[in-house]
Amino acid sequence: MGTITMTDGLVRNFTVYAGAGQCDITKGTMVGTGSIKFYPSQGYCTIALNVPDNYVSQIHAFIGTTKLPMDKSGGYITSPGRFPLNKEVTTERSWTYTLPSGCTSGSNVYAVVHLSVATC
């Protein structure tokens, strides 16, 4: 997606791929879509998915001014299970994400959404 300049009501859509190891979508299969709607003046955004029922078992997400979340020593956190939004998924298809400080209207941010696929 690159950087996103946040404004209230801005929606960014994305494609959901299964099996896109190392973020290489040429290895994956398109299985759905998603969107992020920003409300920086209120300090949050919503993340919504349009994927088959019972397909996703976990969602991990990060939105911030760095490409990935940072650990205490200043290194990138690359493990999705350590992202700020880390939830088990049952029937939910929408989540609220609290934006970190510094993410205000007009800020340039990065968004990363990772899904764990349920075993069928």
Bridging pattern class, strands 85-88 and 56-64:
antiparallel
Q: Which residue has the tokens 């949050």?
A: 44
Which letter does DSSP use for residue 118 in this model?
A: P
Helix (H) or strand (E) holding 38: strand 29-39
pLDDT tens digits, residue range 44-100?
A: 999 999 988 778 899 999 999 999 999 999 999 999 999 999 999 888 899 999 999
pLDDT tens digits, residue range 18-43?
A: 888 888 889 988 989 999 999 999 99
The angle subtended at Cα 100 by Cα 96 and Cα 106, nearest 5°, is 95
pLDDT for the residue 119? 56
Which letter does DSSP use for residue 80 in this model?
A: G
Residue-level length of the chain = 120
